[in-house]
Amino acid sequence: MTKHYNLIGVGIGPFHLSLAALLKKASDQNFLFLDQKKAFHWHSELMFADADMQTSYLKDLVTPVDPKSPYTFLNYLVEHGLFYAFMNTERRTVTRHEFEHYCQWVSEQLAESLQFESIIEGVDYQDNKFFIHTGRETITSQHLSVATGLKPRIPDCAKKALGPEVFHAKSPDLAKIDLTGKRVLIIGGGQTGVEVFTNAIMHKWGRVSKIRLISRRQNLEPLDESPFTNEYFNPQYVDRFYSLDQNSKDPIVKAQKLASDGNTPKYLEKLYNHLYQLKHVHEDDLDFKILPYRNFINIQKLPQGYQVTLQNQFHQCEENLEADIIILCTGFINEIPKFLAPIQKLIHYDQEGRFIVNRHFDLQWEHGSQNKIFALNFSRHRHGIAEPQTSLMAWRSATIVNHVTGKEIYKINNVVPSFIQYGKIDE
Ligand SMILES: Cc1cc2nc3c(=O)[nH]c(=O)nc-3n(C[C@H](O)[C@H](O)[C@H](O)COP(=O)(O)OP(=O)(O)OC[C@H]3O[C@@H](n4cnc5c(N)ncnc54)[C@H](O)[C@@H]3O)c2cc1C
């Protein structure tokens, strides 16, 4: 017999893990989350030993809405006998490794609601329910939730050159690479670019002969973590932002870029110190350059390596440089998952072809009044810059749980107002 659920979630990254953990309190709901992976892993291609989270460990999968939950990071520490040792580290953020360990531990607690090694190939809709097809079986559900993550963004001019010498950092090629004696070009000066550059100059993949880091931005720009900026990661701000019309939202999201996409300031400090020691104390002759204000516009194969053309926005000129290995740290894009193709025509999109995500994170679609399609990490344009981040994931999960059950299982409407008034002056 076909198994039927109240809610099926596709993808088990942190966002659905948070939702699965919070759904545990909704005792009348049966739910299942599926992922193609063998077990929980988090961006393993980019799991560098020196990489830290950009978000406080208290903003874990559940704590902001349910600090008494058994799935908190603090409970993870206590269960592993790590509480006192962790406190002595005086950290405000944990390493990405430790966040992954914590998520793996939660995924073990939730094992009966998670099913790995299940790739979703298609989703149909009939008779008021979704039919979810994995390679092995078909299961049905009243509601669907999609949190399948982002895809690497490959600049058009790089597509023709993709291969083991030109690849996106989030790909298995990075783990296999040997940079010994190679001329290396890293494209992108965001956090991933800076992490790859730092690891490369520390010889993680062998000693390079030359290394260049290029960025479109004016410098290696820091994440703005100051308190007033952090008010954007507050449910009240999201609520205000949501109420704006779409034409006002897009420029605001663009203007707030460095509040969510900048480089971790501590990491920049560490890199600067490392370069200082390398060059001025150890007098190492490593040939490195950090080249901001450059747009990557072309790539051409040479008999030996590649020639890359850059548009220098500072001097308004074109420049060329040669490299053997090119690592694209060019960010990520949202792509509507292919498995939605059978119901794609029933879903509504905005003028840019993006999902129209309602306040409670469900999509506008033909049968949305009885069967919800929730989409997580697809709504920066509707909910603002906090939406693709972990900061408000627990709050978003609680919003969904309350909405699906029609009950106030989590208290999410009592957040005190911010010191900055985004409402109208007389409100
Ligand atoms: C390297 C890196 C570091 C980050 N660090 C931070 C940070 O410090 N703080 C912060 O706030 N944000 C951070 N982010 C941003 C964001 O929090 C993460 O991208 C987060 O992983 C998003 O979670 P997710 O659950 O949406 O997606 P993912 O973690 O990407 O998980 C999606 C899952 O869906 C599965 N899947 C996809 N398609 C299918 C299918 N058809 N069938 C079955 N399974 C499928 C995939 O296997 C995957 O496991 C970071 C992002 C990156 C790339």
Rama region for 101: left / alpha / beta (φ>0; ψ in -120 to 50; rest):
alpha
pLDDT for res 7:
98
389 touches ligand 1 (CB under 6 Å): yes
pLDDT for res 423:
84
| pLDDT at residue 1 tops 80 | no
Where does the pLDDT of residue 387 fall: very low under 50, low under 70, confident under 90, or very high at 90 and above?
very high
Pocket test for ligand 1, best of 17, 34, 38, 43 (most atoms within 8 A of CB): 43
- The torsion angles phi and psi of 370, rounded to 5 degrees, stand at -105, -30
Q: What is the residue-averaged pLDDT of the chain?
A: 96
107 touches ligand 1 (CB under 6 Å): no
CB 310 within 8 A of CB 318: yes
69 touches ligand 1 (CB under 6 Å): no
pLDDT for res 270:
97
pLDDT for res 60:
98
From ligand 1's centre to the CA of 108, what distance in Å? Answer: 18
Amino acid at 212: R
Q: Which ligand 1 atom lies nearest to the CA of residue 134? A: 42
Domains and CATH numbers, the chain: 4-150+334-405 (3.50.50.60), 153-222+261-328 (3.50.50.60)
376 touches ligand 1 (CB under 6 Å): yes
Q: What is the pLDDT of residues 138-151, one digit of tens each?
A: 999 999 999 999 99
Q: Where are the alpha helices (DSSP H) in 27-131?
A: 73-79, 83-89, 96-109
For the record, the structure tokens of 388 come out as: 């693709």
120 touches ligand 1 (CB under 6 Å): yes
13 touches ligand 1 (CB under 6 Å): yes
Residue 115, C-beta contacts closer than 8 angstroms, at least 6 positions apart = 32, 33, 34, 35
Where does the pLDDT of residue 260 fall: very low under 50, low under 70, confident under 90, or very high at 90 and above?
confident
Q: Which ligand 1 atom lies nearest to the CA of residue 120? A: 42
Where does the pLDDT of residue 424 fall: very low under 50, low under 70, confident under 90, or very high at 90 and above?
confident
d(CA 190, CA 262): 6
Q: Which ligand 1 atom lies nearest to the CA of residue 40? A: 49
The 8 Å CB, 24+ separation contacts for 26-30 are 26/401, 26/404, 26/405, 26/407, 26/409, 28/405, 29/404, 29/405, 30/5, 30/6
From ligand 1's centre to the CA of 312, what distance in Å? Answer: 33
Q: What is the pLDDT of residues 27-80, one digit of tens each?
A: 999 999 999 999 999 999 999 998 999 999 999 999 999 999 999 999 999 999
Q: What is the pLDDT of residues 389-421, one digit of tens each?
A: 999 999 999 999 999 999 999 999 999 888 999
| pLDDT at residue 17 tops 90 | yes
- The torsion angles phi and psi of 94, rounded to 5 degrees, stand at -105, 170
Query: In terms of pTM, does the model score above 0.95?
Result: yes
From ligand 1's centre to the CA of 14, what distance in Å? Answer: 7
| pLDDT at residue 185 tops 80 | yes
CB 38 within 8 A of CB 31: no
Q: What is the pLDDT of residues 261-306, one digit of tens each?
A: 899 999 999 999 999 999 999 999 999 999 999 999 999 999 999 9
Q: Which of 424, 396, 196 is nearest to 290 (CA)?
A: 196
- The torsion angles phi and psi of 302, rounded to 5 degrees, stand at -110, 165
Closest C-alpha residue for ligand 1 atom 51: 43
For the record, the structure tokens of 18 come out as: 């948070």
Rama region for 30: left / alpha / beta (φ>0; ψ in -120 to 50; rest):
beta
| pLDDT at residue 156 tops 90 | yes
Pocket test for ligand 1, best of 16, 18, 34, 36 (most atoms within 8 A of CB): 36
| pLDDT at residue 92 tops 80 | yes
| Helix, coil or strand: residue 126 | strand
The rounded percent of the chain whose pLDDT value lies above 70 is 100
36 touches ligand 1 (CB under 6 Å): yes
pLDDT for res 426:
81
d(CA 356, CA 3): 30
Half-sphere exposure in the Cβ direction for 74 (13 Å, CA): 12
From ligand 1's centre to the CA of 10, what distance in Å? Answer: 12
